[in-house]
C-alpha cells in the first residue's frame, strides 16, 4: 500500500508517505516556505515526499487528511448556538471563511493536489479519520509495542480535546474522550497568552520559564490553588471542566477574559517582550504543576482502562517534556513512548497509518531490535556534495572539504572544545519540532558563557531560555538521572547529584537573571536552575555521524555530550537547505558551519550584505 498523509489549514502543515507501513518520508511545510508554523496546504512537503518515495499521485492507494472538517464545523455551530448571544463578532468573522473554503475542503484538497499531479479520484481513496485518532495512530503504530495504552492530549480536534485508546497489533479502540470546551491544551495555551507569549508557539517558553518560579512560595501555591478552584475542576480520572466565565476561546477572539484573570491573579496580562517579573515565573510554575497533576491522572485512567504495561503519547501536550519526565518517574507504566512529531504535523503521519492499518487492514510488522519505526525521526530531505558546492559558488563561500569524516569530526570537536559555536548540518532533516543532530547548532556544555552566547548572539531570543544536551546513549547515566533512553529530546530529568554545585541559601530570592547565570553544575550550559535537563540520547545506529562527533569530543575532553539547539534564529523555522544554513551562519555570530564534509569558517567568508537581515525576513514568535 502507498499512502499519503496530510495535515493542513490550522498550523504546522505537513505531509507523510508510508509504503506497507514503512515510513518513507515526512516533512513540515514551514521548512520549505520559511514561514514558521505555516498552515497552508503542504504543496512542497507533498512534492518532497513523492520525490523521496519515487511515486506519483496516481500510484497512491489513498490520500488521508488528518481530521474531519464537517465534524469540526458542527462543533463550531453548536458552540456558537450554546453560548449565544455572546460570540456574535467571532461568529461573523469565522463562519464566512468556513462557508467559503473549509466547508468545501474535499474540493480544495483535490484542487491543490491536481496542481501537483493528476490521478483518478475513483482509484485513489480520499479519507478523513478523526483528529485524535490520527494523533493516536502516530504514536502507537511507530512504537515498539504490540500492546499499549494510547493517551492523546491537545487543544481541540473536532470535538475531542483528549482521548484514551487501546492499541493491539494493527487494531485501535477508542475508550474515552474529553470534549470541547474542556481542554488541558487550551488551559495551558490560555495561561501562555496571559503570561505574554504567543499561543500555538510560546507554550514551550512557558514550560521553560516555570523552573524560575519558587515551588515553596506562598504565591506559587496560591496561583496553583486559583487554577484548581476557580478556572478548572479536576476529576479523579483526569477529566477536567473549565469555567467558561474566565475564558473567551469558545466564541471570542481571545483566549481569556483579561479583566477577570487580573482580578483572580492580582496582575495584568504581561505584554509581549516586556521584562519578566517574579509573579510571572511563579504563575508559569503553578500552571506546570497543575498540568503535571492532570497528565498523571489521565495516565492512571489509561492504565485502569487498558491494563497495559506500555503507554504511547501524542498531541501537542505530549511535547511538554517536563510533564513527560514526571510521568515516567511515576512508574504507572513500565514503558513510555512519545511521538517525536506529537503536534499537528505528526497528524499527517497518523493519518497515513490510519489508512494503512485501520482502513486497509494491513498487518503490522515491527522491526526487531529497533528503538521504534521512526528511523530516528530523520525523515526529511538530504542534500548532496553537489548541492553544497553550488550553494558555495552562489555566495563565493570559502570552505575546506574533508575526504575523511573522522578527521572532520575531530576538527569540529576541537572547535567546540575551544568555545566556538558550530552549525551542524548532516543527512536527512528531522521531522517534528526538535533538532536532533541533523539540523543543529552545537556548543560546549562545560562552557559557563555558552547559554548566554547562544541565546543573545546566535538565536537572538529571550535570555532565560534553556538549552538541551545531546549525550552518547551509553554515557547518559553518567550525567543524568535517566532510566532508559530519550532519543527525541522529549524527557526532562535531573542532572546527577555528583555533578551539582552547592547553591546559596538566598538562591530562590535572587532576580531571574542572577539565578540563570549562577554556576549550578560542571555542565552549566545545559543545567536548568532546578538542576534538570531536557535530554537527547544519541544512538550510533540512527545517527552515526552525530554519534561520532560527540565521541570525538569525548576523546578530547572526557565529556560525552554537547549543547544542542535547533538550527535557526528566533521566528525562523529550522533550516532545510545548505543555503538556509549558510544564511544563518552569516546573519549571526556563529563561528563555524559544517555541511556534510564541508567546513565553513566564518572568519574566511566574504562580507555579508547588511540589507539581508533575518529580522526583516522572520517575525518574532
**Could you read off the pLDDT of 220-250 as tens digits, one per residue?**
999 999 999 999 999 999 999 999 999 988 7
pTM exceeds 0.75, yes or no: yes
Only one residue has cell 546513549, namely: 473
The number of distinct structural domains making up the chain is 3
Predicted confidence (pLDDT) per residue in 27-72, tens digit: 999 999 999 999 999 999 999 999 999 999 999 999 999 998 767 6
For residue 379, being part of any structural domain is answered with no
Shared-domain flag, residues 80 and 159: no
Q: Is the dihedral of CA 295, 298, 300, 302 positive or negative?
A: negative
Mean pLDDT of 213-219: 94
Do 471 and 606 lie in one domain? The reply is yes
Instruction: Please state, in angstroms and rounded to a whole number, the distance separating the CA atoms of residues 520 and 528.
Output: 8
Q: Is residue 413 part of a domain?
A: yes
Return the pLDDT at 612: 62
pLDDT band at residue 158 under the 50/70/90 scheme: confident
Q: What is the CATH number of the domain that holds 485?
A: 3.90.870.20
Cα–Cα distance measured from residue 170 to residue 362, given in angstroms and rounded to the nearest whole number: 7
Give the three-state DSSP class for 421.
Answer: coil
Give the Å distances, CA to CA, from 74 to 65, 66, 170, 184, 200. 18, 17, 30, 21, 23
The residue among 489, 491, 536, 488 whose CA lies nearest residue 378 is 488
Give the model's confidence band at 402: pLDDT under 50 very low, under 70 low, under 90 confident, else very high: very high
> Do residue 423 and residue 332 come from a single domain?
no
C-alpha cell at 62: 489513498
Structural domain range at position 420: 385-617
441 and 563 in a single domain? The answer is yes
Asked if 292 and 428 sit in the same domain, the reply is no
Residues facing residue 573 across a β-bridge: none
Q: How many residues does the chain have?
A: 621
| Burial class for 92, CB neighbours closer than 10 Å (0-12, 13-18, 19+) | exposed
Which pLDDT score, from 0 to 100, does residue 618 have? 78
Q: Which of 325, 350, 373 is the last residue of a domain?
A: 373
Going by pLDDT thresholds of 50, 70 and 90, the confidence category of residue 506 is confident
Question: Same domain for 486 and 565?
Answer: yes
CA neighbor of 36 nearest in space, from 565, 463, 570, 613: 570
Q: What is the dihedral of CA 213, 217, 219, 223, to 10 degrees?
A: 70
Question: 334 and 280 share a domain?
Answer: yes
Over pLDDT 90: what percentage of the chain? 82
Q: How confident is the model at residue 466 (pLDDT cuts 50, 70, 90)?
A: confident
Is residue 94 in some structural domain? yes
Would you say residue 611 has pLDDT above 80? no
**Residue 380 forms part of a structural domain:** no
- In this structure, the answer to whether residues 158 and 201 fall within a common structural domain is yes
**Closest alpha carbon to 290 in 256, 352, 242, 355:** 242
Is residue 84 over pLDDT 60?
no
Q: Which residue has the cell 519578566?
A: 276
318 and 208 share a domain? yes
Q: Which residues pair with 401 in a beta bridge?
A: 598
**pLDDT, averaged across the chain:** 93
CB 49 within 8 A of CB 4: yes
| Beta bridge partners of residue 126, listed in sequence order | 63
Give the model confidence (pLDDT) of 535-579 as tens digits: 999 999 999 999 999 999 999 999 999 999 999 998 999 999 999
Which CATH number do you get for residue 119?
A: 3.30.420.40
Residues 224, 116 share a domain: no
CA quadruple 506, 511, 517, 521: dihedral sign: positive
- 3-state percent helix, strand, coil for the chain, nearest multiple of 5: 40, 20, 40
Q: Measured between alpha carbons, how far is 52 from 378 in angstroms, rounded to an integer?
A: 13
Amino acid at each position: 500500500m502507498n499512502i499519503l498523509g496530510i495535515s493542513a489549514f490550522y498550523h504546522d502543515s505537513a505531509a507523510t508517505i508510508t509504503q506497507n507501513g514503512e515510513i518513507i518520508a515526512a516533512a513540515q511545510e514551514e521548512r520549505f516556505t520559511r514561514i514558521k508554523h505555516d498552515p497552508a496546504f503542504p504543496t512542497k512537503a507533498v512534492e518532497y515526499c513523492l520525490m523521496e518515495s519515487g511515486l506519483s499521485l496516481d500510484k497512491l492507494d489513498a490520500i488521508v487528511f488528518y481530521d474531519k472538517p464537517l465534524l469540526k464545523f458542527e462543533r463550531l455551530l453548536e458552540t456558537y448556538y450554546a453560548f449565544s448571544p455572546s460570540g456574535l463578532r467571532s461568529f461573523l468573522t469565522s463562519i464566512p471563511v468556513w462557508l467559503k473554503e473549509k466547508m468545501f475542503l474535499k474540493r480544495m484538497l483535490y484542487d491543490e493536489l491536481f496542481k501537483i499531479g493528476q490521478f483518478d479520484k475513483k482509484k485513489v481513496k480520499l479519507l478523513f479519520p478523526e483528529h485524535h485518532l490520527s494523533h493516536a495512530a502516530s504514536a502507537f503504530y511507530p512504537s515498539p509495542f504490540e500492546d499499549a495504552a494510547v493517551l492523546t492530549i491537545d487543544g481541540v480536534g473536532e470535538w475531542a480535546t483528549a482521548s484514551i485508546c487501546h492499541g493491539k497489533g494493527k487494531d485501535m479502540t477508542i475508550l474515552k474522550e474529553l470534549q470541547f470546551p474542556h481542554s488541558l491544551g487550551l488551559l495551558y495555551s490560555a495561561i501562555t497568552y496571559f503570561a505574554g507569549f504567543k499561543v500555538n508557539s510560546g507554550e514551550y517558553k512557558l514550560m521553560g520559564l516555570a523552573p524560575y518560579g519558587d515551588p515553596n512560595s506562598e504565591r506559587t501555591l496560591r496561583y496553583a490553588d486559583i487554577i484548581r478552584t476557580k478556572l478548572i475542576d479536576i476529576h479523579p480520572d483526569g477529566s477536567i471542566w473549565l469555567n467558561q466565565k474566565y475564558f473567551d476561546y469558545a466564541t471570542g477572539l481571545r483566549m481569556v477574559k483579561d479583566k477577570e484573570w487580573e482580578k483572580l491573579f492580582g496582575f495584568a496580562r504581561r505584554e509581549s517582550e516586556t521584562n519578566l517579573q517574579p509573579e510571572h515565573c511563579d504563575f508559569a510554575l503553578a500552571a506546570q504543576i497543575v498540568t503535571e497533576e492532570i497528565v498523571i491522572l489521565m495516565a492512571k485512567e489509561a492504565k485502569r482502562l487498558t491494563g497495559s504495561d506500555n503507554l504511547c503519547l501524542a498531541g501537542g501536550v505530549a511535547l511538554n517534556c517536563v510533564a513527560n519526565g514526571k510521568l515516567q518517574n511515576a512508574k504507572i507504566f513500565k514503558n513510555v513512548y512519545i511521538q517525536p512529531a506529537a503536534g499537528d504535523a505528526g497528524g499527517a503521519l497518523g493519518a497515513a497509518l490510519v489508512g494503512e492499518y485501520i482502513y486497509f487492514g494491513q498487518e503490522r510488522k515491527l522491526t526487531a531490535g529497533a528503538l521504534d519505526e521512526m528511523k530516528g525521526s530523520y525523515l526529511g530531505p538530504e542534500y548532496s556534495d553537489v548541492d553544497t558546492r553550488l550553494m558555495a559558488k552562489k555566495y563565493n563561500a570559502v570552505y575546506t572539504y574533508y575526504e575523511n569524516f573522522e578527521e572532520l569530526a575531530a576538527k569540529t570537536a576541537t572547535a567546540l572544545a575551544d568555545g566556538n559555536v558550530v552549525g551542524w548540518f548532516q543527512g536527512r532533516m528531522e521531522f517534528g519540532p526538535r533538532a536532533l543532530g541533523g539540523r543543529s547548532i552545537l556548543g560546549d556544555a562545560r562552557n559557563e558563557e555558552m547559554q548566554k552566547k547562544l541565546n543573545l548572539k546566535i538565536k537572538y531570543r529571550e535570555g532565560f531560555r534553556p538549552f538541551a544536551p545531546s549525550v552518547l546513549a551509553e554515557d547518559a547515566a553518567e550525567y543524568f538521572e535517566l532510566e532508559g533512553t530519550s532519543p527525541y529530546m522529549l524527557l526532562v530529568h535531573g542532572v546527577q547529584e555528583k555533578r551539582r554545585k552547592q547553591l546559596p541559601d538566598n538562591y530562590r530570592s535572587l532576580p531571574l537573571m542572577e539565578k540563570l547565570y549562577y554556576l549550578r553544575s560542571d555542565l552549566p550550559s545545559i543545567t536548568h536552575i532546578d538542576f534538570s535537563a531536557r535530554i537527547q540520547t544519541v544512538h550510533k545506529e540512527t545517527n552515526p555521524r552525530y554519534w561520532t562527533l560527540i565521541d570525538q569530543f569525548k576523546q578530547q575532553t572526557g565529556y560525552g555530550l554537547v549543547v544542542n539547539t535547533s538550527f535557526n534564529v528566533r521566528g525562523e523555522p529550522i533550516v532545510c537547505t545548505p543555503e538556509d544554513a549558510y544564511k544563518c551562519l552569516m546573519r549571526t555570530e556563529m563561528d563555524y558551519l559544517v555541511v556534510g564534509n564541508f567546513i565553513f569558517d566564518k572568519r574566511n567568508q566574504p562580507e555579508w550584505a547588511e540589507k539581508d537581515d533575518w529580522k526583516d525576513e522572520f517575525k518574532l514568535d
